[in-house]
Amino acid sequence: MASLRKEFEHLEIQLEEIKSATNNFSEENVIGHGGFGKVYKGELSHSHSEGKSMVALKRLDRRHGQGDSEFHKEVRMLSRYRNENIISLVGFSSGRDEMILVYEYASRGSLDRHLTDVTLTWTQRIKELHDLKMSKEYEEIVNAAVPPLNYRSLNELKVLLTEGFQVNEGKTWLSVNEKGEHIERIYIQSCNPHPLSGYFENDLLVDPADYGILNSRFPGGRYYDYRYSFKARVRGEYLTPHISYTANLIFQYRFQGVNSYNPLRYKIDGESKVFIIYPSTHLREDGWFIAPLYHFTTQHTTANLQFVFERRSTELLVAGIEFQPSEEKVSIVNDIKKK
């Protein structure tokens, strides 16, 4: 809790200001209920804003089974990732007895309320429902989004899908390309990276901020400091069936200035492989290196791969594994140096 307050102190709102805005959590200010607890509306004037603004406030009710971890996760995610189609976090209040999230107020309300507006004709209602109709796969993705997506048309949803967002409780970054194929990035901390030697287990997941690097491909994620051999289990859950994919390792070098090629040796489900990293070839414009590890064709929406990476001399900072749709088979060869 102390670390949360220090990191996001610019978002903290005093409880007294929230009580004033909600008339001391009056039932007359309640506009909804959810898994987190009651949602209130109120006109808030606090120390970090000029004038008053209408806001929506979620008040944690622990009887619903949620608590500190869900509260902290939502503060971190909504403060780091903003989009015009996602309701923004205005601030929060936390203390011994109260945990409250404050959002901008969506004046038009939810879709179901909008459709029951008596001024709408049935033709208008049907048109809006038609525009919002999604395929089953889109519906599954939207339901898994963290934080929830806010959109009012299929076109708005497609923009969000192209830009990408977190799913699977923040373990995965998902986007959709122009062909409608899913691109899935699995955060390295979600792959349960485990060194084959037990001496370094507590020290190898690091914060990108410690290295002054923006983790643009895995927002909010951590790095795995890869020098010693380790294993990782990678599970894709939202892949497009019956297309070709390449599983890519996304990383940066721990120390800048590596210009020579070097081999990346690993095993995929027990089979030894080697890929030669050429810095001039595999460095992308955003500063990330992409090393293709495995090429396969999906039969379903899921993939479950076990990687074992060998010890190396050039230290890498690994952000995660990306499942990228691929039309061409990548050059990955079996490693036959050992018998």
The answer on whether 73 is annotated among ligand-binding residues is no
Residue with tokens 């986007």: 175
31 token code pair: 């506009």
CB 211 within 8 A of CB 305: no
Kindly state the tokens that stand for 87.
Answer: 């309701």
Annotated binding site: which residue ranges? Answer: 58
Annotated binding site for ATP: which residue ranges? Answer: 58
